[in-house]
Amino acid sequence: MPLHDDRTPSRLLPLDGTDKKADPAKPDAAKPDKEPIAPPLRFVTQHKGSFHGSKLNYTVTAGETHLTDADGKPRASLFTFAYIRDAAGDPAKRPVTFLFNGGPGSASLWLHMGAFGPRRIVVPGDGTGAGVGPYSVVDNPLCPLDQTDLVFIDPVGTGYSKVLGDMKPEEAWGLDGDAGIIADFIKRWLTENKRWASPRYMAGESYGTTRAVAVAGKLQGGLAGVAFNGLALISVILDFHTARFEKGNTLPDVSYLPTYAATAHHYGLVTPAPTDRAQFLDEARAFAVEEYAPALLAGSRLDPAKRKRVLKKLARFSGLDEAWLDRSNLRIDPSRFRKELLRGRGMVLGRFDTRYQGCDYDHVGELPDNDPSAYAIDSAYVSAINDYLGRGLTVEMDRPYTVFNRTAITKWDWHGPKNENQPSWPGYVNVAPELGRILRENSGVKVLMANGLFDLATPFFAVENTIAGNGIDGSRVTMRYYDAGHMMYVHEPSFGALITDFQALVASA
């Protein structure tokens, strides 16, 4: 396990090797119109640890990498955390994995401090909150550093990452711009660290799964030449139409129903009670596709007798009252579901994980006041990363570590690539066809998709529908399901299973 008391920290000078100080004997030169860009800072520490029974030494480099455009002008500074095993042998055989979270607008602390890093924050995994500090940050013996080097990336506007020069943040806040910057960083890192021969993997969570596919597409396409051996997609969303609860779009209602069913089953609200949960969820899937979807498509044309039958089954699978479902025209918005399911008990459910419960100001509103699964753990994770930065990695920066950039998500360019045949038509984000292309053009790529059964942000059946309808070879995708939500690693059994599944991905490729 990491022995952080044994670390040997060193705060590196700017990468030009200088330690410039003002000379009081010389007059001040005329100030330029713009302040010069300071050289990137990097902080290096040495550690020891034991992972999956293997004792090893490793080096952590936490710091900035400056990226430039085609003309050599500064573009962005990405702050990353590279965990490299010392004396690992032939670099050509040593895998490296690039990891990030989503949002968009989130730093990488959730995967970093929750699952894959050598130090890990432990929070209650049973749906209760972490409360107040001190929190439990422990060595993580399941960190996969024995198997692969790890590079955690904070996108522009998150962590300590930022734009440089004349670039505006909005240029990095969109599907294409964001993926381009991450792709440029990966190529730069492989070059700087002489790791072009290494097996390569990417792991992303939530919007990070969208980003991972977009980045892989940019790096595998054309002559970029950076194919990935495997993609670990955690809490997957590739086609955002499956999550747009808009009037006239019935796809999300169909895609979310099995998650409602899993939640209703969890709270004992399914009558009659199923004896086998897996079979019950399969029945929910079949009902969603074979009966619920046609009923929603029929709309006002739906035969009254069929409507009555659909209402009865919908009530059983969702745990909601038939009369309420009738008034909602058979549609179930996830926020309404979270407020309605346990209204009689005076509780609301979490969005990221419906196992979490909270209490709103009152019990008559239509929507929840907040997300109990978010405020239950946020403080613990934010405290953990900031403490680890200072005491574990000796990072000293002149600005705060941005956990989540709300401006980024409000200004994010959600338009997908333009349709070449109809360039004036607006698109929406759907990278699933790109994943299909990646798999068709490289037979060696393998994909792990990790799904929480109680996740109402990226529901598992939406992912299944995405695979079925976007030209993706399902036989090349390993689907895994966990008894938790969006951040399944807060649940200890699910955390162990996730790491085992990730290890299998790396081993198989």
- What does the pLDDT read at residue 22? 45
Answer whether 201's CB lies under 8 Å from 505's CB: yes
Is the pTM here over 0.75, yes or no? yes
- Best CA proximity match to 147, nearest among 197, 192, 96: 96
Task: Tell me which CATH homologous superfamily contains domain 4-14+36-241+378-508.
Answer: Alpha/Beta hydrolase fold, catalytic domain (3.40.50.1820)
Q: Which pairing describes strands 357-358 and 348-349: parallel, antiparallel, or unpaired?
A: antiparallel
- What does the pLDDT read at residue 224? 74
Name the band, by pLDDT with cuts 50, 70 and 90, for residue 269.
Answer: very high
Distance CA 200, CA 95 (A): 6
- Best CA proximity match to 393, nearest among 53, 115, 102, 160: 160
Residues in the chain: 509
Question: What pLDDT, in 10s, does the model give residues 84-121?
Answer: 999 988 989 999 999 999 999 999 999 999 999 999 99
- Best CA proximity match to 212, nearest among 102, 68, 64, 66: 102
Q: If you write DSSP's letter for every residue of 123-183 in order, what string do you get? A: --SSS----SSSPEEEE-TT-GGGT-EEEEEE-TTSBT-EE-TT--GGGGSBHHHHHHHHH
Name the band, by pLDDT with cuts 50, 70 and 90, for residue 35.
Answer: confident
pLDDT surpasses 90 at 16:
no
Helices then strands, counting H and E runs in the chain, come out as 15, 15
- What does the pLDDT read at residue 180? 95
Which letter does DSSP use for residue 487 in this model?
T
- Best CA proximity match to 116, nearest among 504, 502, 453, 508: 502
Q: Rg of the Cα trace of the chain?
A: 24
Q: Which pairing describes strands 477-482 and 162-163: parallel, antiparallel, or unpaired?
A: unpaired
Which letter does DSSP use for residue 236 in this model?
E
Average pLDDT of the residues in 39-56: 97
Backbone angles phi, psi at 442, to 5 degrees: -140, 105
Question: What pLDDT, in 10s, does the model give residues 271-282?
Answer: 999 999 999 999
Tell me which of 346 and 425 has the higher pLDDT.
Answer: 346
Q: Which pairing describes strands 230-236 and 200-206: parallel, antiparallel, or unpaired?
A: parallel
Answer whether 100's CB lies under 8 Å from 152's CB: yes
- What does the pLDDT read at residue 1? 42
Is 471 exposed, middle or buried, given 0-12, 13-18 or 19+ CB atoms closer than 10 A?
middle
Question: What pLDDT, in 10s, does the model give residues 356-412?
Answer: 999 999 999 999 999 999 999 999 999 999 999 999 999 999 999 999 999 999 999
Question: What pLDDT, in 10s, does the model give residues 411-464?
Answer: 999 875 555 665 556 667 999 999 999 999 999 999 999 999 999 999 999 999
Tokens of 198: 């290494």
- What does the pLDDT read at residue 414? 84
Answer whether 163's CB lies under 8 Å from 58's CB: no
Q: Which pairing describes strands 136-139 and 74-85: parallel, antiparallel, or unpaired?
A: unpaired
Strand locations in 86-134, DSSP E?
96-100, 119-122
Instruction: Assess whether the previous peptide bond of 74 is cis (omega < 30° from 0).
Output: no
Q: If you write DSSP's letter for every residue of 320-355 in order, what string do you get? A: --HHHHHHTTT---HHHHHHHTTGGGT-EE-SS-TT
How many Cα atoms are found within 13 Å in the side-chain-facing hemisphere of 104? 26
Is 303 exposed, middle or buried, given 0-12, 13-18 or 19+ CB atoms closer than 10 A?
exposed
Residue extents of the structural domains in the chain: 4-14+36-241+378-508, 245-370
Cβ neighbours for 106, distance < 8 A, ≥ 6 positions apart: 158, 206, 207, 403, 404, 405
